[in-house]
Amino acid sequence: MPRNKVYNWQIKRETVYPFEGVRSQKQFAAVFDINKCIACQTCTMACKQTWTTGKGQDYMFWNNVESKPYGFYPLAWDVKLLGMLGPQKWDGETFSGKTIFEAAPRGQIAAGYLPDAYDYAYPNVGEDEPYGTVHQGDYITVPHRVWHFYLARICNHCTYAACLASCPRKAIYKRPEDGIVLVDQKRCRGYRECVRACPYKRVFFNKSTKISEKCIACYPKVEEGTQTQCITTCIGRIRLNGWIHTPDQADPENPIDYLVHVKKAALPLFPQFGLEPNIYYIPPVHVPPPFSRQMFGPGVERAVQAYQAAQEDRTLLAALTLFGSTEFWISRFKLSNGLAIGFDDAGTERVRVPLMEPVYIRPFYDEKLEVYRHNIT
Ligand code: SF4
Ligand code: SF4
């Protein structure tokens, strides 16, 4: 098996990748603002209804939302792998521990495990269960002493996808035009090496068809210039789709580049696994940094600070205002006269949203209609 050297900017060093490791021309990405998620599961149901209502797909949630620290789908997916990998060392912003490819046991592509059927049986395990105990006389501090948060997850359409590298049939491929990772249903023979290797457990085995399936990034929507189902249906407006570049190519007018590279307000999930995942998270502001650092890497405190400064930083506020504001794919944005304006790939304006909603105060007594209004704003 090839062991190519590739550069992974999220861990700021070269690493081995047992496949070609060629970057796509464009890379599908998204930013999820954890602070706004209310765990309504609308995204989960929108995805389920669109893609996984067939035979053998009952247990599959290509999108799921789990409560951290005690929620998992499948059971213990992250803590099990973290336990296998051992201590995770960062030297400043450089990861000095082992990625899943570097820690692979002999004869395997990546360190990983195959979940049991039982591990998928309780997708809402740990829901709303907080860490810590409230004692008499306790008061709220930031970060909170008793906390939990909601982690929405889809396939990360990783730059160095483990599912793809591990497939003995070469049935998984990454599209050069948009970086979306897909399973070729005709080539797949259901060996489940992808399920074992994906550290995020985002590939699912269909027991009826005996082949593997995964999130397809709603590619028919992406091809027509719209954002995915889980993103456009999100009630909390926590999500924004877009293209991401490497840091050296970052375009400050691209909202994803701006949030990830310029403001450094959004971070990848478990960057130390070494896959360069492409779903980025604005970390929860109320959670003790040691926990979030393990999950999102060493930039957590800086990301929280950048996010909290959005009240004064109007360009950042403009980028955040675009979340959930349109179904169209937004490639470029600008702030103009208090409006966040978004443009698509062709440069056509697709949305304009005020940073501040106007407030109208109506008279308590409306002479024209001869009515009293108790709620006057
Ligand atoms: S998250 Fe898992 S399934 Fe998705 S591309 Fe990465 S390795 Fe593959
Ligand atoms: S729809 Fe949005 S707010 Fe609701 S659970 Fe999904 S990500 Fe969270």
Which helix H or strand E contains 17, and what residues bound it?
Answer: strand 13-17
Q: What are residue 279's DSSP bridge partners?
A: 30
pLDDT score of 362: 83
Q: 242: Cβ below 6 Å to ligand 2?
A: no
| DSSP string across 95-106 | E-S--TTTTPPT
Which bin fits 15, alpha (ψ -120 to 50), beta or left (φ > 0)? beta
pLDDT at 7 > cutoff 60: yes
Q: How confident is the model at residue 358 (pLDDT cuts 50, 70, 90)?
A: confident
Give the C-alpha separation, 215 to 206, whole Å: 13
120-146 mean pLDDT: 93
Q: Where are the beta strands (DSSP E) in 87-202?
A: 90-91, 94-95, 149-153, 172-174, 181-183
> Does the beta carbon of 43 lie inside 6 Å of ligand 2?
yes
Question: Does residue 79 have its Cβ closer than 6 Å to ligand 2?
Answer: no
In a domain? residue 273: yes
Mean per-residue pLDDT over the chain, rounded: 96
Q: For residues 163 and 19, what is the distance between their CA atoms, to the nearest angstrom? A: 11
Q: Contact at 8 Å (CB) between 331 and 258? A: no
Question: How sure is the predictor about 245, in pLDDT bands with cuts at 50, 70 and 90?
Answer: very high
The 10s digit of each residue's pLDDT in 60-79 is 999 999 999 999 999 999 99
- 11's CB contacts (< 8 A; 6+ apart) are 94, 95, 99, 271, 272, 274
Whole-angstrom distance, CA of residue 366 vs CA of residue 260: 49
CATH number at residue 8: 3.30.70.20
Ligand 2 centroid to Cα of residue 41, in Å, is: 5
Rounded CA-CA distance 259/245 in Å is 12
93 occurs within a structural domain: yes
Cβ proximity of 102 and 274 under 8 Å: yes
Instruction: Provide the 3-class DSSP secondary structure of residue 1.
Output: coil
**pLDDT given at position 377:** 56
Identify the pLDDT of residue 373: 85
Cβ atoms within 10 Å of 363's Cβ, excluding its own: 10
3-state secondary structure of 91: strand
Query: Does the C-beta of 37 come closer than 6 Å to ligand 2?
Result: yes
Indicate whether 279 belongs to any domain. Answer: yes
- Count of CB atoms within 10 A of residue 46's CB? 19
pLDDT-derived band at 1 (thresholds 50, 70, 90) equals low
Q: Which pLDDT belongs to residue 184? A: 98
Nearest to 255 by CA among 335, 348, 156: 335
Residue 190: Cβ-neighbour burial (10 angstroms; 0-12, 13-18, 19+): middle
Domain limits for position 128: 4-291
Which residues fall within 8 angstroms of residue 135, CB to CB, at 6 or more apart?
Answer: none
Ligand at shortest distance from the CA of 213: 1
Report whether residue 324 contacts ligand 2, using a CB cutoff of 6 Å: no
**Tokens coding 11:** 């861990």
In a domain, residue 369? The reply is no
Among all chains, which residue has been given the structure tokens 């149901």? 45
The number of domains in the chain is: 1
pLDDT at 376: 64
Q: In this model, does residue 320 exceed pLDDT 80?
A: yes
pLDDT in tens, 165-213: 999 999 999 999 999 999 999 999 999 999 999 999 999 999 999 999 9
- pTM of the full predicted structure? 0.95
Mean pLDDT of 277-306: 97
Give a yes or no: residue 327 inside a domain. Answer: no
Which ligand 2 atom sits closest to the C-alpha of 38?
Answer: 3
Is 310 domain-assigned? no
Cβ contacts of 10 within 8 Å, gap of 6 or more:
268, 271, 276, 277, 297
DSSP secondary structure string for all residues of 253-267: TSHHHIIIIIS---E
* Structural domain contains residue 11: yes
- Of the pLDDT bands very low, low, confident and very high (cuts 50, 70, 90), residue 3 is confident
Q: Give me 140's structure tokens.
A: 């709220």
Instruction: Tell whether 314 is covered by a domain.
Output: no
Ligand 1, atom 5: closest residue by C-alpha: 157
Least confident of 95-109, 128-142, 269-283: 128-142
Measured in angstroms, how far is the CA atom of residue 155 from the centroid of ligand 1?
5
pLDDT at 357: 87
Beta bridge partners of 66: 151
Ligand 2, atom 4, lies closest to the CA of: 40
